[in-house]
Amino acid sequence: TAQFRWKDQAQAMGIRINTELDLGNPPPLMLNDYDLRRVLTEMIFNAVEALPERGKIILATGREENQAYFSVTDTGVGVSPQTKKRIFDPFFTTKGPQINGLGLSVCYGIIKKYGGTIEVKSEESKGTTFTIRIPIHPQK
């Protein structure tokens, strides 16, 4: 069976990925599958890159009123308050000159386009959680 690239990379580094999926019957969302997959893949790769070997990533989903949420939590290095302020800016990166710094900016743009939000909670040397909230498509 095919496996996600981020899963291969995480396993090679000894990173555990736990899931807490609580969407029940997935509701129709206000974004398409391709964009959701693209955003979640970028968020997971970011988490993998933030972790030392043997770290942990928690993927969670759920539903709150008229929104579904997807969160990616890592036990990595965390994000400084200065970095957090700029984390979605185009071309901003903490990963060096070989990285273009567009990944999180593109994610932010995609989620905003569909009326959603991305929230970042982080504590330096303890980890970071990105929570994506997407409106549920109104029932017809």
**Residue 96 maps to a domain:** yes
Buried/exposed code over 72-98 (b: 16+ C-beta within 10 A; e: otherwise): bbbbbbbbeeebeeebbeeeebeeeee
Tell me the whole-structure pTM to 2 decimals.
0.82
Residue 3: pLDDT over 80: no
Give 55-92 pLDDT, tens digit per residue.
899 999 988 889 999 999 999 889 899 989 999 988 88
User: How many C-beta atoms lie closer than 10 Å to residue 126's C-beta?
Assistant: 11
User: How many C-beta atoms lie closer than 10 Å to residue 1's C-beta?
Assistant: 2
**Residue 140 maps to a domain:** no
C-alpha span between 73 and 83 (Å, rounded): 17
C-alpha span between 69 and 80 (Å, rounded): 24
Residue 98: pLDDT over 60: yes
DSSP class of residue 32? -
**Residue 106 maps to a domain:** yes
Q: Answer whether 31's CB lies under 8 Å from 114's CB.
A: yes
DSSP class of residue 23? -
Q: How confident is the model at residue 23 (pLDDT cuts 50, 70, 90)?
A: low
Tell me what the mean pLDDT of segment 8-30 comes to. 74
**Residue 43 maps to a domain:** yes
Residue 115: pLDDT over 60: yes
**Residue 59 maps to a domain:** yes
Q: Which domain holds residue 108?
A: 5-135
Q: How many domains is the chain built from?
A: 1
Residue 2: pLDDT over 80: no
**Residue 14 maps to a domain:** yes
**Residue 45 maps to a domain:** yes
CATH at 53: 3.30.565.10
Q: Using DSSP, state whether 82 is helix, strand or coil.
A: helix
Query: Can you give the length of the chain in residues?
Result: 140
- CA count, 13 A, side-chain hemisphere, 95: 18
Query: In this structure, which amino acid lies at residue 106?
Result: V
